[in-house]
Structure 1
Amino acid sequence: MRLGGGLPLALAVGAASAGYWVAAAVALAGLLACFAARLPPLGDDGPERYVAGFARLAAVVVQATAFGLYVVPAHPGVAAAVLVLAVVAADFAGLRLPEPVARGVTVALLAAALVLVAICVVVAPVGTRPGIGAPAVPGVLVALLVVFPLLLPRRAEHTGRRTVVLSVVALVVTAAALYQLGALRLGLSATSVRDLLAAADAGALQPVLTVVMVLATLPASLTTFAEARERIAPARGTAAVVAGLLAAAAAVVAGPVAALVAAGLGGVVELLLRVRASRYRGRRV
């Protein structure tokens, strides 16, 4: 679910940074995520606990930012903050997303991705496209940074086949978006997926996109904040309240680029700590 809410923002930011080479960044992010799926999860001691908490809080801000921009475009910052505060309240009330509902949402989001790809492929793009050009390494690295946390396995059960499937879906959606819209138009706006539907003569599906973004962001925000709170303050104390308020404030002022970069940096540090833990456990064995 985290991929569905964050990918539209990450593709826009990645395309603005790397152009058509955002596809290469998505492929590299998928390979890194598959590598991470083979590593042990972070522990609950020392810096690992807080790095994991920060990475998940940043992911909540990304989801909230996507919600605000796509669902309440007139007041995106306020809507993002309200979403964060809502999931904080829901977590304190002990609400959890039932597993059947989570699976149903995942299936619905995969179906929406397939429909989007089909629309992009069936309808021929309008206008000419500039050449791909030579890769700008810094831009590709930025694109990799913002896409990677969306694919990084967070829990022990999010490994192996699931990571491969999500990585392939992200790459296929990226390729379809680049084919239909081009790298320039894809990177012009954080909500360029709306432009993608218009370019593919599917403007009538804009309300459907809004519903899809609600499904992609609300459940993911609730689940991800619960994971963050379990790391930062398992007892739901003052620290959890402060973390939620900070995330809400960040959702107001951060914007999509800052939110994605923060999540990316958290994901990279988490990956490095998991590599270190894997090597340490290997030496002990």
Structure 2
Amino acid sequence: MTFTPRVAVVSALGGALGAGVFAGFAPAALLAGPWFLPALVLPACVALLSGFGAADQARADGDAGGHGFAYARLGRLPARLSGVAHLIGRAGVAAALAGTFAAYVLPEYRTPAALAVLIASVASNGVRAPRRSAAAAAVFVLGVLLLVGVVCLAVPPPENPALAGSPQVMGVLGAASVLFVAFLGFERVSGAESARAAVPLFVGALLVITAFTGYAVLHQLGPARLGLSRAPLRDALVVADGRWLVPLLGLAVTVAVLAVLRHVFATARRTLTALVAVGDLPPVRGRVPLDILTAACAALCVVLASPTTALAIGACAMALHYGFTNAAARILRKEDRTWPTRTACFGLGLSVLLAICAPFDALVVTIASLLVGVAALALRGPLTPRRRS
């Protein structure tokens, strides 16, 4: 079935509107104050350039995914680094999504609720979703976000405390790193036939949605209160006398989290399958053991880290992963390239910049996990490939 760019983007949005838009504004405001809104431009550019590189490689190598692109063009060690970074990022994003669900729907039972939604996601991954369910989920969540934004902007905000001092460059870059989570999901359209139009449309739509929602929440809460909020959209509604919308917002969060978790588990499963295919992991049959492995890593992150730290870990690791994707796109042949080489070069540089500007604790955990993961894969054998994927 052939999708127009507009249909492809609407379907993909159902698997992208998650932790970034519902929980990412608080840590970003804590780092950069009101300047987190201009900081959205940097992760949007990284997503756009990475989408261009992934689209070119998808046309050249098929639907191999980021690990497959790195394996084919950079070698086994970079492919291992890319694959492990992708798995760490997906586990962090899954933990942040589970924490977002708990904060909005069951705040009094945060850890049990977060673990329960991970278990429910693994249990439902074998169920085939209706063809138009992703588009329906996206339309519903978009409608609720629009309603929340209108309510927050229509009501004059209370007097909010102002933040002293001027914005710091590292704070703005740290906010940009955390907000990269809001733009993940572009790989869903980068492999489509209409990727040349779908990737910019998808990233542009996410930028508009995220900026509008972030401005509305900032307008109502102010940067100081926003930085301390665990459920920013819910708190903004309460302040704006929109408490009657809180149950509908909880339903939208549930729909969004389940839809994005489905995509997160699917992409992590593809990377794990690719690692098994090249001999970096022992043979595993069936999707359930692979999903359980991803869910176990996410559950560990839920127990040991706060949702904010999990969000930052997911963003940092995914930025590293897309750094390898852009590095592989740099050495594509001219006939396989739609965009110029400098596109991949800029994407590589900006991806690394986002990763190293992540909050310090998240950066340390990401690098340590990456080293441990690559060392564990090295136990399977040398860097010479055993068989081709």
TM over 0.5: yes
| 1:64-143 equivalence runs, <5 A | 64-91=98-125, 94-127=126-159, 130=162, 133-143=165-175
Q: CA deviation at 1:241?
A: 2.9
2:89 pairs with 1:55: yes
> What amino acid is the match of 1:78?
P
Q: 2:160, 2:222 within 8 Å by CA — same for their partners in 1? A: no
SS in 1 for 2:140: helix
For 1:11 and 1:104, how far apart are their aligned partners in 2? Answer: 25
Question: Residue 23 of structure 2 aligns with which residue?
Answer: 9
- Shift in CA distance, 17/252, structure 1 to aligned 2, threshold 3 Å: same
For 1:266 and 1:221, how far apart are their aligned partners in 2? Answer: 17
- Shift in CA distance, 220/96, structure 1 to aligned 2, threshold 3 Å: farther
For 2:34 and 2:271, how far apart are their aligned partners in 1? Answer: 37
Which whole-Å deviations, capped at 9, do the CAs of 1:158-185 have from their partners, x for residues lacking one?
7221121011110111111111211111
Q: 1:68, 1:77 within 8 Å by CA — same for their partners in 2? A: yes
- Shift in CA distance, 233/244, structure 1 to aligned 2, threshold 3 Å: farther
SS in 2 for 1:75: helix
> What amino acid is the match of 2:229?
S
Gap runs ≥5 in structure 2: 1-14, 55-64, 72-78, 193-197, 275-284, 337-389
Question: Residue 50 of structure 2 aligns with which residue?
Answer: 36
Name segments (4+ residues, structure 1) moved above 6 Å: none
User: After alignment, is 119-128 or 36-45 more displaced?
Assistant: 36-45
Q: 1:2, 1:217 within 8 Å by CA — same for their partners in 2? A: no
2:241 pairs with 1:208: no
For 2:237 and 2:182, how far apart are their aligned partners in 1? Answer: 23
Higher relative contact order (CA 8 A, sep 6+): 1
For 1:243 and 1:110, how far apart are their aligned partners in 2? Answer: 28
With normalisation by structure 1, the TM-score equals 0.90
Which whole-Å deviations, capped at 9, do the CAs of 1:240-271 have from their partners, x for residues lacking one?
43332222222233211211111111121122
For 2:214 and 2:154, how far apart are their aligned partners in 1? Answer: 16
- Report the structure number with the largest CA radius of gyration: 2
Q: 1:27, 1:171 within 8 Å by CA — same for their partners in 2? A: no
For 2:291 and 2:241, how far apart are their aligned partners in 1? Answer: 45
Equivalent position to 1:154, from 162, 172, 187: 187
- Shift in CA distance, 57/97, structure 1 to aligned 2, threshold 3 Å: farther
Question: Residue 295 of structure 2 aligns with which residue?
Answer: 244
TM-align CA RMSD: 2.2
For 1:107 and 1:206, how far apart are their aligned partners in 2? Answer: 18
> What amino acid is the match of 1:42?
G
Equivalent position to 2:35, from 16, 21, 31: 21
| 1:155-170 equivalence runs, <5 A | 155=188, 156=190, 157=192, 159-170=199-210
Question: Residue 315 of structure 2 aligns with which residue?
Answer: 264
> What amino acid is the match of 2:298?
A
